[in-house]
Amino acid sequence: MAKVLVAMSGGVDSSVAAQLLKEEGHEVIGAFLRLGDGGQAAEKSRACCTVEDAIDARRVADRLEIPFYSFNYAEQFRKIIDYFVDEYRDGRTPNPCARCNQWIKFDVFHDLARDLGAEFVATGHYARVLQADDGPRLARGLDIDKDQSYFLATVPYSVLKECLFPVGVLRKPEVRDIAGAAQLPVVHKAESQEICFVPANDYRRVIRKEAPESLQEGDIVDESGEKLGTHDGYAAYTVGQRRGLGIAATEPRYVVRTERETNRVVLGSRDALLETHFFISEMNWLQPEAPQLPLRCTVQIRHGGTPQPCTVQMGTFEGEELIEVDLDQPIFAIAAGQVAAIYDGDVVLGGGWIEKN
């Protein structure tokens, strides 16, 4: 049996992860990271990292009779908010949850585990760790509707190989049943479905506060430059957006790109957003050695998206050598700044960040 630090969010998934590990006989320690602004988080009922979540995590730890620690990393979390705003300001689509996993959560818990003498870090993510001859592999959770392996694709292999995901072999109803049988106080708690620092899912509110210069009135144009209307800020639009454009058109129009330099939002047809090619920066291979390229695999470009067959190889993007992805079939609205996760079946080969011209 091992000593395991469990990242307890105050939700049912991480609570059951702790419960299962204790049942297996491991020495379990619970820890909660306070990341966001308490006052801001209090406005939301379905976000994570609130004061209420910390209280719930401690209640579960008390129920399980395990040690529990709470750490405040709100100052370090400022890096994620700055990244989020900067990406929108640069006309990209950020993925703050994946960046937080990469830059803060897993890194911090990994260090805390070492400080506490723990051999592993466990979380409530719906993902699995499979053992291969040369080391562990990250794989999709068995509950495909809840699978979170996509958000873990950019976490370094050195960290992930020391992680456990106890609920990854379960489906959500089974997790609820285990929580009920163990009489955990969070058994009926609703899931967090919002970005923890974005009140009521209104990301424009965050941009308005942090970067008001990017929410100035400008032109909405088509791809030829013809003016179609006026917007209240280019950073309030995302690639592929169709609703809320405020224009009249005889056929559906979608956001093709936003332009910081000209303060324009460019619209086009759906066909204009069908693409077969992009690049991946900061490629993170989740295995001891990078695979031989070119490689046939599948790629997923958004959470909940369908993996698409592709070939990956080395290529050059703006003078830099990056992973190049060639899709068998076009994908709609490939957004620069999002995660691209590469799979071989259910196994995550690695992941990085989408770059495109």
* CATH number of the domain that residue 227 is part of: 2.30.30.280
Of 48, 49, 100, 310, the catalytic one is: 100
Same domain, 89 and 52: yes
CA distance 305 to 299: 9
Same domain, 242 and 291: no
pLDDT at 273: 97
pLDDT at 36: 64
Which residues make beta-bridge pairs with 352? Answer: 340
Same domain, 259 and 278: no
Residue 251 is part of which domain span?
A: 216-268
**CATH code, 278:** 2.40.30.10
- Residue 35 located in a structural domain: yes
To the query of whether residue 196 is one of the catalytic residues in this protein, the response is yes
Same domain, 111 and 15: yes
Q: How many domains, in total, are found in the chain?
A: 3
pLDDT at 113: 96
111-164: per-residue pLDDT in tens? 999 999 999 999 999 999 999 999 999 999 999 999 999 999 999 999 999 999
Which of 251, 268, 285 terminates a domain? The answer is 268
- Residue 193 located in a structural domain: yes
- Residue 313 located in a structural domain: yes
- Residue 80 located in a structural domain: yes
- Residue 280 located in a structural domain: yes
Same domain, 7 and 91: yes
275-328: per-residue pLDDT in tens? 999 999 999 999 999 999 999 999 999 999 999 999 999 999 999 999 999 999
Which residues make beta-bridge pairs with 259? Answer: 264
pLDDT at 38: 42
Name residues whose C-beta falls within 8 Å of residue 159's C-beta, 6 or more positions apart in sequence. Answer: 106, 107, 110, 121
CA distance 115 to 148: 27
Same domain, 242 and 260: yes
3-state secondary structure at position 137: strand
Same domain, 249 and 346: no
- Residue 52 located in a structural domain: yes
Same domain, 78 and 172: yes
Same domain, 118 and 21: yes
254-281: per-residue pLDDT in tens? 999 999 999 999 999 999 999 999 999 9
- Residue 145 located in a structural domain: no
Residue 64 burial (C-beta neighbours within 10 Å; 0-12, 13-18, 19+): buried
Cis amide prior to 199 (ω within 30 degrees): no
Alpha-carbon torsion, ordered 355, 287, 127, 202, to 10 deg: -20
16-71: per-residue pLDDT in tens? 999 999 999 999 999 999 986 543 443 444 456 688 999 999 999 999 999 999 99
pLDDT at 41: 41
Same domain, 174 and 293: no
189-213: per-residue pLDDT in tens? 988 767 888 877 888 899 999 999 8
pLDDT at 40: 46
Same domain, 22 and 116: yes
To the query of whether residue 49 is one of the catalytic residues in this protein, the response is no
Answer yes or no: pTM beyond 0.75.
yes
Same domain, 327 and 284: yes
Residue 83 burial (C-beta neighbours within 10 Å; 0-12, 13-18, 19+): middle
- Residue 143 located in a structural domain: no
65-108: per-residue pLDDT in tens? 999 999 999 899 999 999 999 999 999 999 999 999 999 999 99
Of 97, 163, 196, 297, the catalytic one is: 196
8 and 14 Cβ atoms separated by less than 8 Å = yes
**CATH code, 96:** 3.40.50.620
